[in-house]
Amino acid sequence: MSPLSSRAADAPVPLASPVARATLLGNTPAMERARRMLRRVAPLPHCVLVQGETGTGKELAARMLHDASPRRDAPFVAINCGAIPAHLAESELFGHLRGAFTGAHRDRAGAFVRAAGGTLFLDEVGELPLPLQAKLLRALEVGTVLPVGAEQDVQVDARIVAATHRDLPTMVAEGRMREDLVHRLAIFVVQLPPLRERTADIELLVAHFAALAERETGVPVRVEPAAIAAARRHDWPGNLRGLKNAVLRAAVHGDGLVTADGLCARGPWSVASFDDATGPGGMVIPRGSFASMKRAILQQVVAEAGSIREAAQVLDIPRSTLGAWLAVDPAEPRPRRAAAGRTEDAAAAPSPHPVPARLGAVAR
C-alpha cells in the first residue's frame, strides 16, 4: 500500500507557524468541550486550573487562554514548578534583591513581575513545597509579592493559569497541598482528555506532527496507513508529547517513512539511536565538561519523570540532593541558615556522591 503524504492539501497548519495562534487540535467531543471552556474564560481575569495527564497539552491550553484574552500583547511567562530546585523556587517566583543570600550578585525580577500585565503559567503547581504554597496564596489574594531580601511588597498584575497532572483532592487529604490554595486556583477548571480517549483525532495529529518533523529535519515525511491504524490501538502514556516524539523518531530512523513498527515502539529507550552518542539504555550522552554532562543527563531524567520529586524517586536519592546536582553553577542563589552564630550554605552544597551508575537505564 502506498504511503500517505503528510503534506496533503487539507493538512492542519503547523503550530510552529509564525502566523498561527496556539490551538488544541482535535474534533472529538472532549476536545470541543475543552476549547469551548477555554473560549468562555479567556476574557476573564480569574485564575484557571488546567488538569490533564502529562503530555496532554496543558501549556498549549494556557497559551490559548493568553492569546484570546485582553492581555495577549503582554508577556506570557511559563514556570515549571516541578523542575525548580526547592531552594530556588521562592526567588524564581517572587525575585530577590542583591545581597539577599550567597550568590545574589544583582537584583532579579521574579516570574510574577516578569509577567506584568500578562499571563503567568504555573505548570505542575502541585510540586511546590507547602511553605511556598502559603506565599503563593497570599500573592493571589492581595496582588503583591515580597522579593527575597526585600522589606517592601511589590504590586503585581498577572493572570494566573495553573496546571497539574495530579489528583489535588488526594494531595489535600494527604497534607501535601493546601486546600485554600486549590480553591483559589480552581475558580475555573479545564479538563484535557488523554490521547487514548480521543483516538478519532490520531490521524489528524499524526499528519500535523509529521509536517512538523518534515520542517525540522528538511526530509520529506510520509506516513504508512498501517502506522495510523497501529497508533489508534496504542495507549500513548506520553499523550501528545509522546506521539509527537514518536513521529519524529520514526521519521528520522525510517529516512522519512513513518511505519507502524517505528511509530509504536515501546519508547525512546527501545528505539535504536546513534551509536556514538548513546550510553546504556539508549540515553543520549551530551559532550562537554563533566559538570555539564552530568547536569544535562539529570535534566533528561527530570524531563522524563515530569518533576524533580519523581525523578529523585526514580534515582533513589533525596530530592534536595538532586536539586543541588541540578544547580547551574556555585554562584546561583542558595539559602542561608544560621547555626551557632554563623551562616552556612551546607544545605545547598552539591552532594559528594557520584551520579548513580544506573542512570542510563532509566525508562519512562
Instruction: Determine the average pLDDT of the residues in 330-359.
Output: 42
289-302: pLDDT as tens digits: 667 777 778 888 88
Tell whether the model's pLDDT for residue 325 goes beyond 90: no
- List Cβ neighbours of 334 (8 Å cut-off, separation of 6 or more): 87, 101, 102, 103, 327, 345, 347, 348, 349
76 Cβ partners below 8 Å, 6+ apart?
62, 63, 66, 115, 118, 119, 121
What integer pLDDT is reported at residue 278 of this predicted model?
Answer: 45
Instruction: Give me the mean pLDDT over the 146-162 stretch.
Output: 95
pLDDT at residue 287, rounded to an integer:
57
The CA distance from 21 to 18, in Å, is 8
21-25, 66-70, 85-89, 342-346: which range is least confident on average?
342-346
How confident is the model over 51-108, as pLDDT tens digits? 999 999 999 999 999 999 999 999 999 999 988 888 889 999 999 999 888 888 899 9
Strands 95-96 and 108-109 turn out to be antiparallel
Q: What is the pLDDT of residue 268?
A: 52
Q: Count of CB atoms within 10 A of residue 32's CB?
A: 12
**Nearest by Cα to 119 from 57, 162, 65, 76:** 76
Q: Is the pLDDT of residue 359 over 70?
A: no
pLDDT for 43: 96
Q: What is the pLDDT of residue 318?
A: 83
CA-to-CA distance for 78 and 261, rounded, in angstroms? 35
Domains and CATH numbers, the chain: 29-191 (3.40.50.300), 199-263 (1.10.8.60), 280-361 (no CATH)
Cβ contacts of 262 within 8 Å, gap of 6 or more: 227, 249, 250, 253, 254, 271
Average pLDDT over residues 118-137: 96
Q: What pLDDT is recorded for position 243?
A: 94
Q: Comparing 111-125, 131-145, 153-167, 253-267, which segment has the lowest mean pLDDT?
A: 253-267
pLDDT exceeds 60 at position 170: yes
Q: Which amino acid is at 348?
A: A
Residues contacting residue 320 through CB under 8 Å, at least 6 positions apart: 86, 87, 347
Backbone angles phi, psi at 155, to 5 degrees: -70, 135
pLDDT at 274 over 60: no
Per the CB < 8 A criterion, the answer to whether 144 and 94 are in contact is no
Spell out where 180-288 has E strands: 188-191, 222-223, 257-258
Residue 78, number of CB atoms within 10 A of its CB: 17
- Report the 10 Å Cβ neighbour count for 125: 26
> What confidence tier does 363 reach under pLDDT thresholds 50, 70, 90?
very low
Is the per-residue pLDDT at 120 higher than 60?
A: yes
